[in-house]
Every structure is written in structure tokens, then in C-alpha cells.
Amino acid sequence: MPHIELHLHTKAGSADSSISVDALGQSAAEQETGGLLVTEHWRVWTEGERALFEDRWGVRVYPAIEATTNAGHFIVLGAEPGVTLPYDATELLDHAAGRGHFVVWAHPFRHYFDGIHTSQRPPFEANLTPEELARHPHFSRVDAIEVENAGCTERENALALEVGRVLGKPMTAGSDAHDVEHVGARRLPVSAVPASIEELVELLRELSLELT
């Protein structure tokens, strides 16, 4: 069965990643991953870059970006190369909705239980139940929630999964790889590799990821 990977970064667009484009291609090809959602922090790969990568490695790449906002990180599928996205989360979600982009709230509870990195805590009050957390207005506007992230703790991922179940929205998993050793740490099995970003979005809209 083919696989796709929905969240990772390279040196071509993420200053905190050590993965070169060729290292990503080699690793994905060796793992027989059919498609990648490369979610750089500050730019979207151009159509030419994606085409060159696909020709060399036989692995499809879909256009996306992981946008940093005042309410956390959001993966915007279908974002256009060269576009500067708003830092304000409400404005970002307005921007995405106006263009028909599919948005995933990435690792929504990273540092939620962390008393050290308080400046990086997500925009939720402490000690809320999953039902209370699910009432945050941004959850009503995103299209999916990342509930399994290889860079998060088990407790953070478990809370994301509980909130995802309350909301009944599509739930995704991602390696969030920033080094080549973690490429492939979280992949999604699919019956067929989506041929386009539109097909990938259609697949994700129907996704009901239940993790054990």
C-alpha cells in the first residue's frame, strides 16, 4: 500500500531544518513514500521546484506552507508561492477561506502542559477539558486537526486526539521532520497517491484517522 507524508521541512524554506532537498528525496524514495506535503516555514515551493523533485525522485510534492501566527501554527494546503500570509490567526483563516485553501491546525497543544516554554504555549487557558478546548473559535474554522505529531509528547498528542474526536473533524498525522532521521516517522497509508493538491484535499476531507 502506498503512503504519503503530511508535514515536514527542508533547508529550502525552513531555517530550523537540516534536511537538504536531495536528502529528502533520497529518504522518501527509499521508503517508497508516494507523496509529500512539504510545509516550509517561510515559503511555498514553486511549481518548477516541485516538478524537478518529482522528476528526479519519483515522489509527488504538494504546495503548502506552515504559517506561524499569534495562535500557533497552521498548515495551509494550496498556498501560492510568493504570498506573504498574515501573522494574525483570524486574518490568516479569513485569507485561506477566501481562496478556498484547506487548513490544518498543526500540533495545537504543543507546550500546553509545559511550564518552561510559556512564551510558546498555545492560546488556551490551562486545565480545560477537551470539550471546553473544542469551543475555541479557531477550531470551528480549520478544516482538520493534526492529532499525531512526532515532535510532540504523548500527552500533547493524546489531548489533540480527544479534542479532534469531540469536534468530529478530519484528523491528520505528521512527522514534522526537521532532520533526515525523522523523515517517515509518521506516514498515512492511502489506496492511491493523490495526483494533485485537489485530490489530496478531497482525501483529507474524508479522513477519519483513529490512532491507538
Q: At 84, which CATH number?
A: 3.20.20.140
pLDDT at res. 147: 96
30 within some domain? yes
Average pLDDT, the chain: 94
95 within some domain? yes
Range of the domain at 56: 3-205
CA angle 13, 103, 74 (to 5 degrees): 50
What is the block-wise mean pLDDT of the chain (212 residues), using blocks of 10 residues? 96 97 98 98 97 98 97 97 96 97 97 76 92 98 97 97 96 97 96 96 79 34
pTM of the model: 0.95
**How confident is the model over 82-96, as pLDDT tens digits?**
999 999 999 999 999
77 within some domain? yes
**Structural domains of the chain, count:** 1
